[in-house]
Amino acid sequence: MALQRAGHCSPTAACIDHVGQPSSAADIVWEMLSTIDPEVVPHRRLTEHAAEAIALTYVHSWGRWSVKRVMNEGEFADWLLAREDDRLALEVGGVTGTDGRAKLTQKLGQIDQCTVAQQRLAVVVAFGKPEILAECR
Amino acid sequence: MTESLRSSATEDELDILVSVAIRRAEVLAEEGDPGTPAAWREVRLYEELLSRITAPTTVEGGVARVGAVYAALAAGDRLDAEELAEKYRAEGLTDERRARLDTILTEDFTRRGRRYRYLWQTGRLAALDDWKNKSRTETTRVFPLAA
C-alpha cells in the first residue's frame, strides 16, 4: 500500500545504501491493490508498518537475521532479531518522500542509546524513490 | 487462550504473543482507549512467562524482565512493578539491565510527579499507589454506594 501510494507498481527496483557495503538494488514484489482507502489505515501507521516489512525482509536477506520479538518502548529499538546465538537490535523508520537521510540520522541516535544487544542496526525506507538506507553500530 | 495453555507455551510462541500484545497496547495507548491498562497487563503476563523460562543474564531474559516491569508501569500498577523489579534484581540481572530497570522506574516516578504535582510536592505519591492497589483488590470506593 505504501509503495502504491507513492506511485510505484509491482515489481519495483529499490536502491540499497548500506554503509560499509557495496551499493546494490533489489526488486520489491507485492500483490497490487485495486484501490487504497487512506481512511482504512492511518497515514503514519501505514508508512511505519510498510517500512518494517521491507526492513525485516532486507535484514534477513542481508545477514540471515530472523525476527525474535518486538521490543518494548523505552528499549530504543523496535525489534530483536536472532541468528543462532547472536542478537541484533533493529530500529526502523520510513518516509513517504525521497530523502531518508535525516530520518536515518534520527534513528541512529535512537539505536545508539540501545544497550541490550551488542549488534545494532538502523534501517530507513524512503518510499518516494524507493530506497533502503541502513547503517550498523 | 486459557491460563494453562499460556503457561505451557514455548519461548517462540510467547515471543509471538508478546509481540502482538505490545503492538496492540501501543495502538490502544496512542488512541487513548480505556482498554489500554488491560492490554498492558496482557503484555506483562507474557513477559513474566518468558522470564520464567529464560535466564536473567541472556539478552531475551533481560528484555523480558525489563519488559514485565515496563508493562506493569504502563498499566498503572506501580507497586507491582517495584515488586517485580526487586525480584528480578535478586535473580542476578546484568548491570546493564539493572540500570535499565532503575531508569524506567525513575522515569515513571518523574512522569507521575508531573501529573500528580500536589501529591508529589507533599511527598504523598506513594499513598496514591496504595489506594490504587487497594481499589484493584478490594471494593473500596471514594463514595459509598447507596443502600
Q: From the candidates A70, A80, A83, A119, which should be mutated to test the interface with B, based on the most B CB atoms within 10 A?
A: A70
Give the C-alpha separation, A129 to A8, whole Å: 9
Q: What is the DSSP string of B109-130?
A: HHHHHHHTHHHHHTT-HHHHHH
Asked if B43 and B15 touch (Cβ cutoff 8 Å), the reply is no
Q: What is the DSSP string of B1-69?
A: --HHHHHH--HHHHHHHHHHHHHHHHHHHHTT-TTHHHHHHHHHHHHHHHHHHS-TTSHHHHHHHHHHH
Asked if A32 and A9 touch (Cβ cutoff 8 Å), the reply is yes
Average pLDDT across chain A, whole number: 91
Within 51-70 of A, beta carbons closer than 8 Å to B belong to 67-70
Residue contact B63–A71, C-beta within 8 A = yes
**pLDDT (tens digit per residue) in A58-117:** 999 999 999 999 999 889 999 999 999 999 999 999 999 888 999 999 999 999 999 999
Give the C-alpha separation, A94 to A106, whole Å: 11
- Mean pLDDT, range B127-144, rounded to an integer: 64
**Residue A14 in contact with partner chain B when CB distance is under 8 A:** no
Give the C-alpha separation, A50 to A57, whole Å: 11
Give the C-alpha separation, B61 to B50, whole Å: 7
Q: What is the pLDDT of residue A121?
A: 97
Strand partners, A83: A86
Identify the contact set of chain B against chain A, taking CB-CB distances under 8 A. Answer: 15-16, 18-19, 22-23, 26-27, 43, 59-60, 62-63, 66-67, 70-71, 96-97, 99-100, 104, 107
In sequence order, which ranges of A12-85 are alpha helices (DSSP H)?
Answer: 43-63
- Beta-carbon contacts of residue A112 (< 8 Å; ≥ 6 apart): A76, A120, A137
Q: What is the pLDDT of residue B69?
A: 97
3-class state of residue B140 by DSSP? coil
**Residue A33 in contact with partner chain B when CB distance is under 8 A:** no
From A70's Cα to the closest Cα of chain B, the distance in A is: 5
Per the model's pLDDT, the better-predicted residue between A81 and A44 turns out to be: A81
| Grid coordinates given for A59 | 535484514
The answer to which of A16-25, B9-18, B120-129 has the lowest mean pLDDT is: B120-129
Q: Which among A70, A74, A87 has CB closest to B23?
A: A70
Model pTM above 0.90:
no
From A9's Cα to the closest Cα of chain B, the distance in A is: 29
ipTM: 0.87
The answer to which of A35-44, A120-129, B15-24, B40-49 has the lowest mean pLDDT is: A35-44
Q: From the candidates B13, B17, B19, which should be mutated to test the interface with A, based on the most A CB atoms within 10 A?
A: B19
Cβ-based contacts of A87 with chain B (< 8 Å): 59-60
